[in-house]
Structure 1
Amino acid sequence: MSSASVHPTAIVGRGAQLGDGVKVGPFCIVGDNVVLHDNVELVSHVSIEGNTEVGAGTRIFPFASVGHVPQDLKYHGEASRLEIGQNCTIRESVTINPGTEGGGMLTRIGNDCLIMASAHVAHDAIIGNNVIMANYVGIAGHCQIGDNVIFGGTCVVHQFTRVGAHAFVGAHSMVDGDIIPYGMAVGNRAALTGLNLVGLKRRKFDREAIHRLRAAYRQIFSNEGTLRERVEDAAGLFKDDALVQEVVAFIMAASDRPILMPRNGQSAE
C-alpha cells in the first residue's frame, strides 16, 4: 500500500494513483485519472485534473491549476495528456493545460524545471529539462522549449515558436520568432542580441568551443548573402563542432515561425 499522506480536507478521486511519500495538503483536489509519483507534494489548494502524470519529487504550491481543459476553442473533450517531470517546482497560481488533437495530444514539462508564480504553459507545449520561467511568463500553444532555457519575468512566447537549448530571454520580452540554441533575446518585439555567454560560462562550456560558436554566430548573422548561404557556409567551416552544428540544424529545420534576427544596424556578437 502507498504511504501517501492526504489531508482530511483534500478530495482525491478513487482512480487517482498516489506513490510512496506523496503529500496532498489542505483543500487540494486530485482527479480520478491523475498519477502522482513518489514524494510529490501538493502544498495546499492545488487542483489537478485530466490525464495528468506528475514525476517524483515535484512540489506544487497553492492555487496552481494543473491539467484542466485547454484554453483552445478547437478542443472537444479528447482524452489528451499532461506529463510533468521529476523534481520540478511549480509555484503559486501557475496554470498548465494538457494537449489537444490538433497538437499531438500531449503537453510535456521536463525534469528539474522551476515555474514561478502566475506563469502559464498552454496546450501541446513541449518544455525541456532545467527550464526556468520567472513570474508571469506565458508560453502559448504548440511551443517547443529546449533544455536549460531561462525566461525573465513577464515574457510571452507566440504559439508554435521554438526556443533552442541554453537560450536566455530577457524580462518583458514578446517573442514571435524562433530563438537559436545558445542565443539571447530581448524586446517587444524581441530581437536576437547575441549569445548567452554568461550561461555558457556558468555551465562550464569549453572556452575554445565558445570561441568557435561566437565565430559561427558572426558569420551566420553578418550582412553578406542570404541566411541560408551563410548557414551552409558555417556548416562547412565548423563541420566537426557539435555546438555550431546544433545551431545549423535548428535554423535549417522546418518551422512555423521565422528565425529571430538581430535588429538592423546591430553588430553581430
Structure 2
Amino acid sequence: MSALIHPTALIDPNAQLHPSVSVCAYSIVGPDVSIGAHTIIGPHCVIDGHTTIGEGNHFYRFCSVGGIPQDKKYAGEPTRLEIGDRNMVREYVTINTGTVQDVGVTRLGSDNWVMAYVHIAHDCQVGHHTILANGVQMGGHVHIGDWAIVGGLAAVHQFGKIGAHSMTGGQSALHMDIPPYVMGSGNPCVPVGINVEGLKRRGFSAESIGALRDAYKLIYRRGLSLSDACAEIRARQQKEPAVADALQPLLDFIEASTRGIIRP
C-alpha cells in the first residue's frame, strides 16, 4: 500500500487515484471515483458514486461526497459529480450526484472555500472562487456564479440562482434569484446594495462600479418596471461602451431568471 494511503482506509481496487493522492485514516473511496494529483482526503470521509475530483483539493474530516441524490425520483441511474481543482471542503460537507431530471451532473468548480456543514444538493452548479460559509443549505438544481459569497446558515430554494460577485448575508432565506453584484440579506432575502468592496478587490474600474450602482438604482430605487429598467441599462451600454461588459451579466441574469429576482 502507498505510504500516502493510511492502512485503515478502504480504497476500491477500481478507483483511480493519482499516486500523489493522500487518503487518511478510516476513509472510504468507491469504485467509480477518480481523484487527481495532490488531493488530500482527510480522516473519516466517504467518497463514492460516479465522482471525478481534480487536483489539489483538500477534503477535511467527515465529508460525504458523491452520495446518491436526496430525491424520491432517483432510481439508481449512474448520475455524476464533478469537482474541479484547489477546493477546500471542510467538516461534514455533503455533496450529492445529479439526477436525470436535470443534466445528470452536480458540479463544484475550482478554488472554492466550502465551510463546515454545507449541503450541495443534486444538480447544483457551483462556479469558481465562491465562499459558502458554515451551514449553507442548497436545494436541488441551484446555480451559484463565480466569486459569490453566501453567508452562514443561508438557505437557497431549489432551482434558485445566485449571481456572480454577489454577497448573501448570514441566515438569509433565498426564495428568489439574487442578481450578479447585488448584496442581499434577510428572510425573505431582500436587496441591500451593490457589493462594492468585493468588486474593488477583483479589479473592477471605478467607472464600471459607478455604472453598476446606477443600474441598481434603476432596478430597485426608481419605481420602474423591470423591463423599463433593463431598457435604460441597455441604452447606457450603447452610450458608454467602456461599461457595457460589466453591465451585460446583470441583464443576462435578469432575462434568464425563471423564479424572478429578489425585490425590496
TM-score grouping bracket, smaller chain normalisation: over 0.9
Query: 1:102 — aligned with what?
Result: 101
CA drift at 1:218: 1.1
AA aligned opposite 2:230? V
Q: Which runs of 5+ in 2 are unaligned?
A: none
Question: Which of 201-210 and 40-49 deviates more?
Answer: 201-210
Letter in 2 for 1:98: T
SS at match of 1:102: coil
- Residue 91 of structure 1: how far off its partner (Å): 0.5
Letter in 1 for 2:261: I
- AA matched with 1:176: H
SS in 1 for 2:190: strand
CA-CA distance at 1:225 after TM superposition? 3.7
Equivalent residue in structure 2 for 1:248, among 233, 240, 251: 251
Rate the CA distance shift 1:34–1:149 in 2: closer, same or farther, 3 A.
Answer: same
Between the two proteins, the alignment pairs up a number of residues equal to 260
The DSSP-based 3-state class of the residue aligned with 1:101 is coil
In the TM superposition, 1:38-57 aligns within 5 A as 38-57=37-56
Following superposition, the deviation at residue 222 of structure 1 comes to 3.2
Q: Distance in 1 between matches of 2:57 and 2:6?
A: 18
2:116 corresponds to which letter in structure 1?
A
Q: Measure how far apart 1:233 and its partner are.
A: 1.9
CA contact (8 A) 1:64 1:92 kept: yes
Percent of paired sites with the same residue:
41
Write the deviation string for residues 72-97 of structure 1: whole angstroms up to 9, x where unpaired: 11111110000111000110100000
Give the letter aligned to residue 54 of structure 1.
I
- What's the secondary structure of 2:67's corresponding residue? coil
* Distance apart, 1:226 and its partner CA: 1.6
CA distance in 1, matches of 2:104, 2:78: 8
2:262 equivalent among 255, 260, 263: 260
**In structure 1, distance between residues paired with 2:2 and 2:20:** 5
Counterpart position of 1:120 = 119
Partners of 2:191 and 2:206 in 1: CA distance: 22
Alpha-carbon separation, structure 2, partners of 1:224 and 1:190? 19
The answer for the alignment partner of 2:161 in structure 1 is: 162
SS of match in other structure, 1:103: coil
User: Structure 2 counterpart of 1:218, which letter?
Assistant: K
Q: CA deviation at 1:26?
A: 0.4
- Give 1:4 shift: 7.2
Q: Judge conservation of contact 1:30–1:48 (CA < 8 Å) in 2.
A: yes
8 Å CA contact 2:42–2:62 kept in 1: the answer is: no
> Which amino acid is the alignment partner of residue 191 of structure 1?
V
- What residue in structure 1 maps to residue 234 of structure 2? 235
1:4/1:20 contact within 8 Å kept: no
Task: Report the aligned-residue RMSD.
Answer: 1.3
Contact kept in structure 2, 1:34 and 1:49, CA below 8 Å: yes
Q: What is the distance in 2 between the residues matched to 1:129 and 1:3?
A: 32
Report SS of the residue matched to 2:82.
strand
In the other structure, the counterpart of 1:78 is 77
TM-score for the superposition, normalised by structure 2: 0.95
Contact 1:163 1:180 in 2 (8 A): yes
> Counterpart amino acid of 2:184?
A
* Contact persistence 1:3–1:19 (CA under 8 A): no
Deviations 1:163-187 (A, max 9, x none): 1100000011011111111010000
Shift of 1:220: 2.2
Q: Deviations over 1:16-49 (max 9, x none)?
A: 0001310011000000000010011011110011
1:1-269 to 2 correspondences below 5 Å:
5-239=4-238, 240=241, 241-253=244-256, 255-261=257-263, 263=264
One-letter identity of the residue aligned with 1:78: E
Aligned partner of residue 53 in structure 1, secondary structure: strand
